[in-house]
Chain A
Amino acid sequence: MATLHTQSTARLMMAPAVVLLLMWMLVPLGMTLWFSFLRYNLLMPGMEEWTGFDNYYYFLTDPAFSTALVNTLLLVGGVLLISVGGGIALALLLDQPFFGQGIVRLLVIAPFFVMPTVSALVWKNMFMNPVYGLFAWVAKFFGLQPVDWLAEVPLFSIVLIVAWQWLPFATLILLTALQSLDEEQREAAEMDGAGPVSRFIYIVLPHLSRAITVVILIETIFLLSVFAEILVTTNGGPGLQSTNLTYLVYAQALLQFDVGAASAGGIVAVILANIVAIFLMRIIGKNLDA
């Protein structure tokens, strides 16, 4: 439908966005790729030289990489499990009629709007502090030994903090999807004698499947890049216990100034994220045709 503009004006209108994004994508990514083949340390300027795949070899065989990769997977998997599982349960609950529905909905989604540094520090100090934190107080109240959360179970603690931020997101999207479920279909099943469990498995879950997939994929993209929560709570430690890939690349680049290795790590992270992205794009692309 080219009623409003000719094709050339349309192209002209799109040009700034397309050109800028193209530059944003190609220039830095090209530089990262180029750096990843150089021996390049900011502390030794002028000593750059071509090293082929050495950086990749060192980055991928460094034990820190496998630790960070496992941590990344645990972090993403743990948060997904809590946020999607909890999100389905919460969405089913909030979809029922009850008093104050609107207010509870606001309370539930609130954590999603809290900036990452705030939520991480609030949890780290006021809840997880082994001496003055609320968790420690609760533990003492029941006569238990308080846990030093971020020192003893750092990755698990970070999973909790990040899950608190993403559970609202999952709930909100699944609730929206639930509300588009045809009520008559549910009632028909009820009249046919289907119990709540089989109604959930055969009617609700299939209806939610697309929303669940979208939640999983979008969260995965963001969770692969969790950074601030780690920086302000554990700095990746103790040791490497809470270092994920993003944090490892950051540490290599801005703490050890090893541009070459950090770039190789960056490219590895891009490849991993792309594997997820391909699936997400397919789903969104399908939706665009509809």
Chain B
Amino acid sequence: MARAISPRRKWTITVVAWLLGLALFFPILWTVLTSFKTEGEAIASPPSLIAFDWTLANYFEVQARSNYFKYVGNSIVIALGSTLIGLLIAIPAAWAMAFSPTKRTKDVLMWMLSTKMLPPVGVLVPIYLIFRDTGLLDSRTGLIGVLTMINLPIIVWMLYTYFREIPGEILEAARMDGASLAKEIVYVLTPMALPGIASTMLLNIILAWNEAFWTLNLTASNAAPLTAFIAAYSSPEGLFWAKLSAASTLAIAPILIMGWFSQRQLIRGLTFGAVK
């Protein structure tokens, strides 16, 4: 329901809100713009906002110099791999908890959540040593395993909150109509559960893509995803801001777009259903 406000007030709010929004977005915009500059223009003073010679050279150079797509590939494999395995483990669990809850269900959920509260440094040393001794250091398999485990509680929780919204009566109705269990799952439950599963998947891909503790500590070059690749630009020698910007733009663009589409789910997932 719209409140009646004066046009003048509405315009004032419009201007202030846009200015603040643009200010917060500015570092991202600046990165994208810098990625189209030459290295010289990237550090020019005074800096130019759009009046420079636009070039795509940085994008080609990043790929030519450091085989950028290898890191993109690692990011994709690790984010997708850990998400899919996580879903495979979590869907049955969340399903059981939502549709046949016992008095211990709540405790199990809370306990799962508590594993998420564990700070990573609490287990850094043993994980590192186990990985070193089993050859999992700098391997995509190892990283997929770790990211699956750290995000599993969020996946279970999110799926649980979605599944719980599917009314149990609809199952009974289907059964009355003579549907078998298999039919029930395929024709009634799956369509109702799919949107929740898709949202969970989206949020989890975002989280896995941006994870920057384990990816930095457990990889060197082979399995390094984009987080680690970008971190390599922190070395002080040389100013490669235009190339850094090109690499950064490619690294954040897909996730930014996915994030924009999944705002609501993000809230549900990251607050464990406490705020909807």
Contact = CB atoms under 8 A, between A and B. Distances in A.
Contacts of A211: 275
A7 interface: yes
Given A114-B252, A115-B210, A285-B110, A97 B2 contact: yes
Interface stretch (B61-69, B121-129, B192-200): B121-129
B10 A126 contact: no
B231 interface: yes
B31 A32 contact: no
Interface string B216-228: 1100000000111
Interface in B87-124: 89-90, 92-93, 95-97, 99-102, 106, 108-110, 112-124
Nearest to B234: A232
Interface residues of B, number: 105
A115 B126 contact: no
A106 B21 CA distance: 8
A206 to B, nearest CB: 15
B57 interface: no
B97 A14 contact: yes
Contacts of A6: 100
Interface residues of A, number: 113
Contacts of B112: 17-18, 21
B120 A27 contact: no
A116 B206 contact: no
B255 interface: yes
Contact of B122 (A172, A266, A283): A266
6 contacts: A16-B89, A113-B258, A167-B24, A176-B275, A228-B213, A281-B110
Interface of B: 1-3, 5, 10-11, 13-14, 16-18, 20-22, 24-25, 27-28, 30-31, 34, 42-43, 45-47, 89-90, 92-93, 95-97, 99-102, 106, 108-110, 112-130, 149, 152-153, 156, 168, 171-172, 175, 206, 209-210, 212-213, 216-217, 226-228, 230-231, 233-234, 239, 241, 244-245, 248, 251-252, 255-256, 258-260, 263-264, 266-267, 270-276
Interface of A: 1-7, 9-11, 13-14, 16-18, 20-21, 24-25, 27-29, 31-32, 35, 90, 93-94, 96-101, 103-127, 132, 134, 137, 140-141, 164, 167-169, 172-173, 176-177, 183, 187, 210-211, 214, 218, 221, 224-225, 227-228, 231-233, 245-246, 249-250, 253-254, 259, 262-263, 265-267, 269-270, 272-274, 276-277, 280-281, 283-285, 287-289
7 pairs of A and B residues whose beta carbons are closest in the complex: A31-B126, A228-B212, A13-B92, A277-B117, A113-B259, A28-B123, A107-B21
